[in-house]
């Protein structure tokens, strides 16, 4: 029906046009009837249009109140939408600020910084201007105030609360329960507690990680009306985050302490290694030095007794040799000789003790333990004689006079270590066995032998040498004599 009303005007106009067309063919145009019909149709159309206009005005008047109400509703809706948008923007800004602060809280590693951020969150978002954090010390089961925004708690007035005391803070820590002032009367266990001691308590919550108590937070002042349900949920979340952050900071601090200790140990080890390299680098083989570094050898003053093999090597008639030559020539040829001999000693992992004028002193078996120290020393002595022969060839070609040497070896108990003073010390050996080695070297002139060893050395190297028994040597301070052997040949194959 509504559709018919809507299109009625178009229908009438169409019928009028059709009627005029029919009349044109049925009635003569100059007839009065023709003009009468046209006038009638036009008048009817005009009347219809007027009535339709009046009807439309009536409809508008009828619908005017509804239109106004609709407009007012639209305005109210726009206002409400604007208010909601502004409120959402404010909440978004607040949540963004809280999120950033929580992000900073979680990433903090310093306990004081963590507590500062936490207290700031309480103040800005829950309007708590007075709160105190008590840290739990497990060794004596005590809660100790360590950070507070309450003026009644400061560095000069630390509050200690034992878990055995009867107050809200101790009860909160012991039971791991959050306490609100408004709920005290509902709990018969705490209804008799003083809500003002040791600090005013409006809300007290434990800071717990898993089941371990970390601390307790006590709020001494709350906003008017107390906490809403959302506030309590936010506070509980903050307490959980605080427990997690403090626990992480504690472990991080422990790790940092361990790293610091490790760093100190590494620095000390590095200094020790440098000390070892400085002390032994020029006197023994790199292999021995590296082993000392790896084992962290002690290079302080002091010594110990070990069974070692000592070598003394001396140039024969070197005084007469020097008298016939210029000092610079003597120094040059002596340096060349000492360098060649020292290289052999170090090649066989010996420790070059010192140069005593033209005499060389070395030993085997320290600072690094060597099971075959006697064999290594014997092989080194024999190769030193071979190196000297090579120098003879070189010197004779250069027109220089050659010289011979005598070598003496002895194996026995010796005191080895850093001997000297705090000003200067040497890693050396001392003892009767050392003196015996020096005396054996002196006998090389008497028996016209380049290399002599004692019975104690021979017993350990007889499977790699060809030797001749020379005779017995009476040692000062000992009743028994010492048998001496001359070495003719040594097997230089590497020892297994």
Residue 119 in tokens? 């207290």
Number of Cβ atoms within 10 Å of the Cβ of 396: 11
Global pTM reads 0.49
Give pLDDT tens digits for 329-363.
Answer: 889 999 999 999 999 998 998 988 888 889 999 99
Whether the CB-CB separation of 131 and 153 falls below 8 Å is answered with no
Give pLDDT tens digits for 372-428.
Answer: 999 999 999 999 999 999 999 999 999 899 999 999 999 999 998 877 776 666 778
Average model confidence (pLDDT) across the chain:
78
Give pLDDT tens digits for 167-199.
Answer: 888 888 888 888 888 788 888 888 888 888 888
Question: Which residue in 219, 214, 218 sits closest to 246, CA to CA?
Answer: 214
Instruction: Look at the chain and report how many structural domains it folds into.
Output: 3
Percent of the chain with pLDDT over 70: 65
DSSP assignment of 422-480 equals: SS-EEEEEESHHHHHHHHHHHHHHHTT-SEEEEHHHHHHHTTSEEEEEEEEEEPTT-SS
Higher pLDDT, 83 or 281: 83
Q: Do 336 and 471 fall into the same domain?
A: yes
> Which pLDDT value is given to residue 8?
59
Distance CA(73)–CA(75), nearest Å, equals 5
Domain harbouring 209, CATH code: 3.30.450.40
**Residue environment code for 253-272, b if the CB has 16+ CB neighbours within 10 A, otherwise e:** eeeeeeeeeeeeeeeeeeeb
Give pLDDT tens digits for 418-430.
Answer: 777 766 667 789 9
> Which pLDDT value is given to residue 144?
86
Cis status of the peptide bond prior to 198, with omega within 30 of 0: yes
Range of the structural domain that residue 162 is part of? 126-253
Q: Do 342 and 483 fall into the same domain?
A: yes
SS percent in the chain: helix, strand, coil, step 5: 55, 25, 25
Domain assignment present for 395: yes
Lowest mean pLDDT among 80-94, 328-342, 470-484: 80-94
Which residues does 322 contact at the CB level (< 8 Å), separation at least 6?
330
Domain assignment present for 168: yes
Q: Do 235 and 290 fall into the same domain?
A: no
94: pLDDT strictly greater than 50 = no
Domain harbouring 369, CATH code: 3.30.70.1230
Residue 306: strand pairing partners: 414
Q: At what angle do helices 229-280 and 32-107 cross, to 10 degrees?
A: 50
Q: Do 339 and 240 fall into the same domain?
A: no
Residue 10 in tokens? 């178009």
The domain boundary, picked from 203, 238, 253, lies at: 253
Domain assignment present for 120: no
**pLDDT band (50, 70, 90) for residue 128:** confident
233: pLDDT strictly greater than 70 = yes
């Amino acid at each position: 029906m509504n559709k018919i009303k809507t299109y009625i005007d178009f229908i009438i106009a169409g019928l009028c046009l059709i009627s005029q067309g029919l009349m044109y063919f049925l009635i003569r145009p100059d007839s009065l009837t023709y003009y009468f019909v046209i006038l009638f149709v036009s008048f009817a159309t005009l009347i219809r249009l007027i009535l339709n206009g009046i009807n439309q005005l009536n409809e508008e008047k009828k619908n005017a109140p509804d239109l106004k109400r609709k407009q007012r509703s639209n305005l109210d809706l726009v206002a409400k939408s604007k208010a909601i948008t502004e409120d959402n923007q404010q909440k978004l800004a607040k949540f963004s600020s809280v999120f950033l602060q929580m992000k900073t809280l979680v990433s903090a590693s310093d306990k004081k910084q963590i507590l500062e951020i936490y207290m700031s969150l309480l103040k800005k978002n829950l309007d708590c201007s007075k709160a105190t954090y008590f840290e739990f010390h497990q060794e004596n089961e005590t809660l100790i105030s360590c950070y507070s925004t309450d003026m009644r708690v400061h560095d000069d007035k630390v509050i200690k609360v034992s878990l055995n005391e009867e107050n809200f803070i101790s009860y909160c820590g012991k039971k791991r329960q959050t306490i609100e002032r408004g709920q005290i009367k509902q709990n018969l266990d705490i209804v008799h507690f003083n809500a003002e001691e040791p600090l005013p308590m409006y809300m007290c919550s434990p800071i717990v990680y898993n089941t371990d108590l970390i601390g307790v937070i006590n709020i001494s002042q709350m906003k008017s009306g107390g906490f809403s349900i959302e506030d309590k949920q936010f506070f509980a979340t903050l307490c959980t985050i605080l427990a997690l952050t403090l626990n992480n900071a504690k472990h991080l601090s422990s790790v940092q302490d361990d790293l610091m200790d490790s760093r100190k140990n590494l620095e000390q080890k590095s200094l020790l290694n440098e000390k070892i390299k400085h002390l032994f680098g020029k006197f023994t083989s790199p292999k021995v030095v590296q082993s000392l570094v790896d084992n962290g050898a002690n290079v302080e003053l002091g010594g110990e007794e070990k069974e070692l093999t000592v070598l003394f090597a001396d140039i024969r008639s070197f005084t007469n040799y020097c008298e016939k030559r210029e000092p610079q020539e003597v120094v040059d040829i002596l340096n060349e000789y000492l360098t060649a001999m020292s290289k052999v000693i170090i090649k066989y992992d010996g420790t070059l003790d010192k140069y005593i004028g033209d005499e060389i002193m070395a030993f085997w078996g320290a600072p690094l333990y060597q099971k075959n120290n006697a064999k290594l020393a014997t092989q080194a002595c024999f190769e030193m004689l071979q190196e000297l022969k090579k120098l003879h060839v070189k010197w004779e070609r250069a027109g220089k006079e050659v010289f011979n040497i005598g070598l003496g070896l002895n194996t026995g108990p010796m005191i080895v270590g850093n001997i000297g003073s705090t000003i200067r010390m040497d890693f050396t050996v001392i003892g009767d066995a050392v003196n015996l080695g020096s005396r054996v070297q002196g006998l090389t002139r008497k028996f016209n032998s380049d290399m002599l060893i004692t019975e104690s050395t021979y017993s350990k190297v007889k499977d790699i040498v060809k030797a001749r028994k020379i005779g017995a040597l009476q040692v000062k301070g000992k009743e028994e004599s010492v048998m001496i052997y001359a070495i003719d040949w040594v097997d230089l194959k590497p020892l297994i």
